[in-house]
Amino acid sequence: MMELFDTSPASEPSLPSPDAPLADRMRPRTLDEIIGQDHLLGAGRVLRSAIESGQLHSMILWGPPGSGKTTLAFLMARVAGARFLAFSAVLS
């Protein structure tokens, strides 16, 4: 429960345990592991540059469940050194 109140930036990704669900084991752990969206996340592109420089802005990530919105948001926060707090409107 204490990690909920941790204000430090996210640390380096750790490998999930071998018995973790497949989705957890296959989830991208770096921006380079994300497939697609090269026009935004490719080297030198707009969003990638903003993330790496720590100059993130407000944005809405939209897509169907399981498309990687939360994973992308987590990775953006980690690379930018920002705090990440996952919140799902579906679960509230």
Max Cα-Cα span within the chain: 38
**Contact, 61 vs 69, CB < 8 A?**
yes
Please report whether residue 9 resides in a domain: yes
**Contact, 47 vs 75, CB < 8 A?**
no
Please report whether residue 86 resides in a domain: no
Please report whether residue 46 resides in a domain: yes
Say what the pLDDT of residue 40 is.
Answer: 93
Say what the pLDDT of residue 92 is.
Answer: 58
Tokens encoding 59: 């944005």
Instruction: Please say whether the dihedral angle defined by the alpha carbons of residues 58, 31, 29 and 83, taken in this order, is positive or negative.
Output: negative
Number of domains, the chain? 1
Say what the pLDDT of residue 57 is.
Answer: 87
Say what the pLDDT of residue 74 is.
Answer: 94
Say what the pLDDT of residue 34 is.
Answer: 94
Please report whether residue 92 resides in a domain: no
Which of left, alpha, beta for 66 (phi over 0: left; psi -120 to 50: alpha)?
Answer: left
Residues of the domain holding 21:
2-80
Say what the pLDDT of residue 71 is.
Answer: 94
- State the CATH number of the domain containing residue 59: 3.40.50.300
Which residues of the chain fall below pLDDT 50? none
